[in-house]
Structures are given as structure tokens and as C-alpha cells.
Amino acid sequence: MIAALKGMKDRYSDDVKKYDAIVDASKKVFGKYGFERIITPILEETELFRRGVGDETDVVSKEMYDFKDKGERDVTMRPEGTAGVVRAYLEAGFHKSSPIVKWFYNGPMYRYEAPQKGRMREFHQTGVEMFGVRSAYLDAEIIKMGCDFLEELGITGLVVEINSLGNVESRKKYIEDLKKFMFERLDKLSEDSQKRYEKNPLRALDSKDKGDQEEFKNAPKLYDYLDEESKKYFEDTKKCLELLGVNYVVNDKLVRGLDYYSDTVFEIKSNKLGSQATVLAGGRYDRLLEILGNAKVPGIGFAAGMERIAMLMDDSIISENEEKIYVIYFDNTKEYFVKTVNELRENGIKVNFDYNAKSFGAQMKKANRENAEYVLILGEEERDENVITVKKFSTGEQKKYSFEEVLEILK
């Protein structure tokens, strides 16, 4: 038998129903805020991620599924959604014609890393990207939209963490001082943080290593290095969050893992996921479009892991709107059954039944096992009178109805 590759997973039954619920919620909530869906290719040029995500990030240096295709081109299965959406925006020329664009996406991503709770090597994200506006209110609105999206799925008990990375100039002096701080205790830091010391010291700040966290307690704070414009922008963003009713905490060690972020960064976390607590995360990336296409257009967005969201969803979310209707018939009423089921489906009614007509008792047992809300009985009497007997399982009530009356009941 051939098995699925490590880190890849078949998804069916309730998993798929939860994914569908997540996609439906994204369409509803993001659409309410004026976002339209975009679909981008899974396969992109490797250079897109090297330039956009950053050579020194873990994603590019260790985790990408990259290879040469049959045309000897360097290609990569997308490890995240933002770079591809930015590429689509620039390639279509929106930065020249209609710079303000709001898009959202759903789809699979690929990272070659050790599978963990809520993150496989093939995983799925839903996310949003908006281009053309730099505004503290917009930053707060994007965070609020992320909260609305998770609440639409019945997820509560979440914590919003925010921080400011300032601009490139603000960070230069900070990174110099952070490296001095790290150098003084380099031998006490984890192997990962020692590697990041040279190439990406900011990433060491959100290390999950307990020893690193202890060492960084007295590290210099980035906020103290921000220029006046960056500080004001961050304060304005916090005020807008308060106006929108979003409860948040400032986490001065929140830096995000990708190089393109500046100013506002945020994460929405859950304590139900253990150490891998982040459910939705993002931030502002005003330089990314310049890096990828020499276009001075601001951008902001977020992404949410659909597997992690599914772990937090209550099963009732996927069953609330689920039709639970079971049809019972017999060999000598099969023609009436086929006609009736076809008409029910044409009217949008989802039905289930046994393809091999068994005894009445056997079919009732199966309807019970499938938690049917209604049982439709199509026996000889029903066929001759051109009616349907409807039995409501919860009460045991049973009565004959015309087809039109049954539609009213089931809809």
C-alpha cells in the first residue's frame, strides 16, 4: 500500500465540513469589509520568495519546497500567501491604474518542517491583503476584521497582541544595540538564536526556548528606538483599536517571522493550542512592493492557519445548517422513491438513504445512527395516495403530507 507523504494528510468528513465553514466565514466577513477573492498559483518562481520573504528567514533558508522544473527554472511551492498576491497586483499593473485594492484568499501552502500540532507540511491558510493606503485606522480595522472572522466561527477567549517595528531607519540603531546585548550572553543562547545573531537578530526575540526568553527579559526595547513618526503612528493605531472595541496587549518582543514587515504587527492567540498559540497574524509591509516591483505602494494583511482554526471550532458549527433527512423506501416503491428524491434534490433538499432497500426496521436503525431529524417514508400507501409520511425523530410525531407541504417543512 502507498501511504501519504510525511506531513501530508487526507481530509474528509468533519475536517472538510470545518474547512468549508472557514471559507464561508471568510467570504461573509471579508466581503462585508469590501474584500474580493483572488486565486494565485501554488507554484511561483523561487526568486519571488527569496526577495519578498527574505533569504535569512527560516522559511527561505530551511523550509521551502523548491526545485528545478523541466525547463530548468527554479520554482517553489508557495510557503505563504502574501508574496504571490503582491506579484499578482504588480503584474496586473494595479499600482499604476487602481492602487487601492482589497483581496482575500484561501488555499494550501507548503513548508518542509517537522509536522506539529495544527501545522503539517501541507497546510492551509486564509488571508487578506490590502494595497494603496497607509492609515492607523486601517491597521486597526484589519485587526478588528480578523477578530470578527474568528468570532463568526464561534471562537472565543482570544488575545490580540500588537507591536510596532517602526521603519527601517528606526530599526538600524536598535539592531546594533540588540546585537551588542546578544554578544554579551551569546554562549547562553540557544543554537537557533546564535545563528540569528549574525543574520536576523530580531527573530531571536520571539524564541520559544525558555532559556532565551529568560536572557531576553532585559533586552533593549524597540519602541524606545522608534522615531517620532513611528511612535505617533503606533499610538494612533492603539487609539483606533480602542474606538473599535478591540481589547489588546502590547508585546514588545513580537516581531513576526518574515522580513517584509514594518510598523504595525499583530497576532491573535489562543491558550487552547499550547505553545503554538498563534491563530491569525500579520502586519504592515510598506516596503514589500518596492522590493518586488519598485512600486512605492503601502500594504497590510494577515493570514490564518485553517488547521489551527479548525482545532478551536466547536463541532456544532458544522452541524447547525446540516440537513439530516433520511428516506425509507421498499423494492416495490422504488420508482416512486426515485421520482421523489430527484424532486427533493431539485428543490435544494439534501437527503440520505440506503441504496439497497432493506426492511423497515433496518432502515429506521440506520436513520437513527445517522441522527436523522426527519424520516420520509415512501411505502405502497404513500405511493398510491401520492403523499409522503414524515416522521420527526425527536418527538415521534408522524403524519402524511403532500410534496409541497413537505418542502415547506424541510425548508
Give the residue ranges of the annotated binding site for L-histidine.
80-82, 111, 125, 129, 256, 260-261
C-alpha distances in Å from residue 205, one per residue of 159, 217, 257, 371: 19, 10, 10, 51
Q: How far apart are CA 128 and CA 108, in angstroms?
A: 15
Binding-site residue set: 80-82, 111, 125, 129, 256, 260-261
* CB 316, CB 159: distance < 8 Å: no
The DSSP-derived string for 31-49 is HHTT-EE----SEEEHHHH
Grid cell 537578530 in the structure block, residue: 201
Q: How far apart are CA 208 and CA 159, in angstroms?
A: 18
Read off the DSSP letter of residue 108: E
Q: How far apart are CA 374 and CA 324, in angstroms?
A: 7
Give the relative orientation of helices 14-32 and 136-152 as an angle to the nearest 10 degrees.
Answer: 150
Q: What Rg value do the Cα atoms of the chain yield, rounded? A: 27
